[in-house]
A and B are shown apart, each in its own frame.
Chain A
C-alpha cells in the first residue's frame, strides 16, 4: 500500500472532527448545553481532498460527515448539511437587529435548526452557495472576536457589534472587553469626547480590570490630542 503524502494527510486532518456524540458526552460532564453543528457550511474541495479520499478509500459521504473544518478556506462547493446529534438546547434565536451582515464561509453554527432525529447527512435543497450568517446569530465570543477584528479596519462596524453585544448579553462574561472595544472604536472614529467619557466610566467600573492599561493609554493619547 502506498501512503498518501504529508500534504494530503494534513488536508484530511484539517477536516477531522470528533465522532457524533463524543462532544455531547463531554458537554454533559461539564453541564453545558451543546448542539453539534446542526447546520454547517462545508466547503468540499473539488480536487485535492476528494481525490485523496478516493485514494485512501473514503467515500464522499464520509468526507461530508467528518469533514466539517472550522477554517474552511479552500474554494469549492459550499453545501449545507444537517448533522446528527442528540437534541439539546438551541443556540440564541435570531433577533430583529442585523448589523452589517456579510456572508461568511465559516463553519460555525449559522442558524437554529430543528433537532435532527436520524443520523444522516442530508443536503438541504437547494444547496446555497453561501450560507447566511448574521451578528444576531453569533454567540458571545464570536461577537466579541469579530468586533475586535473590525476595530482597525472598520471602527463603526466594531461599535455596532459592541452595541449588539450590549443588547444581547448585557451581563455577559465579556462585558468589560465589549466596553473597551466600544470606547476604542469611538476614539478611532473621531468621537473623542464620548470615548473619554466612557474610558473614565470604565476606570471607575472596573478598577482591577486587566484592560485598564489599554484604556489608560488610550485616555493619555486622547488627552494629548
Chain B
C-alpha cells in the first residue's frame, strides 16, 4: 500500500466502517469488508477524479462492496442470531443493542431506500450529492427517503410492541 492509501485509511476508515455497518454488513464481516473497500480504493486511486471529495469517492466504493456482502449474506441465509454477547459486558451489550436496533430496522426496508437513508441521515450527505452518488434524480431520492423513514418507523413500532 502506498502512502496515499495509508492517508486515505487514516482519514476515512472509521467513516467507511460505520457506513458499511449501516448498509447491512454484519459485525463479524466488517473488518473484511472494510479491507476490501481500501483494496479497491488502492487499485483505483490513479483514476480518482478530484471532483468529488475523497470521502464521497470511498462511499461509492463502499456502496458496491456492501451490496456484494448483503448478497453473500442472503445466499448463506445468516440470520440475526449471530450477535450474542457475554453477560459480563453489560454496557457493551446495551450499546450494541441500540445500534443494532437500527440495523435490524434497516434490514426491513429495501436496499435502495436504505442507501438513501444511510447516506443522508447517518452520513449527513446533502441530497443532491446522494442522488448523484446513487445515480437517481433528487426527486426519486427524496421519495426513497420518505419511504425509508416510514418503513423504519413501522418496523421500530413493531419491535416496541413485541418487547
Contacts and interface: CB of A to CB of B under 8 A. Distances in A.
A joins B in a complex = yes
Nearest to B2: A173
A139 B17 contact: no
A76 interface: no
B1 to A, nearest CB: 5
Interface of A is mostly: loop
Interface stretch (A53-61, A114-122, A124-132): A53-61
Given A22-B31, A140-B3, A140-B4, A108 B11 contact: yes
Interface in B61-115: 91, 94-95, 97-99, 101-102, 105
B8 interface: yes
A12 B97 CA distance: 12
> Which size class do A's interface residues fall under?
35 or more
B129 interface: no
A78 interface: no
A180 interface: yes
A197 interface: no
Contact of A174 (B1, B4, B22, B121): B4
A33 to B, nearest CB: 6
Given A1-B163, A3-B159, A30-B1, A25 B31 contact: yes
Nearest to B159: A3
Interface string B122-143: 1110000000000000000000
Given A22-B17, A73-B124, A181-B50, A141 B98 contact: no
Interface in A22-78: 22-23, 25-27, 29-37, 56-59, 62, 66, 68, 70-71, 73
Interface string B150-163: 00110010011001
Contacts of B160: 1-3
Interface in B1-58: 1-15, 17-18, 21-22, 30-31, 34-35, 38-39, 42, 45-50, 53-55
B144 interface: no
Contacts, number: 150
Contact of B10 (A22, A34, A180): A34
26 contacts: A4-B98, A5-B156, A6-B105, A10-B102, A13-B99, A13-B122, A16-B18, A16-B99, A22-B31, A23-B14, A29-B35, A30-B9, A30-B42, A32-B38, A36-B14, A62-B95, A71-B123, A73-B124, A108-B11, A141-B4, A141-B7, A145-B54, A145-B55, A174-B4, A177-B50, A180-B50
Interface of B: 1-15, 17-18, 21-22, 30-31, 34-35, 38-39, 42, 45-50, 53-55, 91, 94-95, 97-99, 101-102, 105, 121-124, 149, 152-153, 156, 159-160, 163
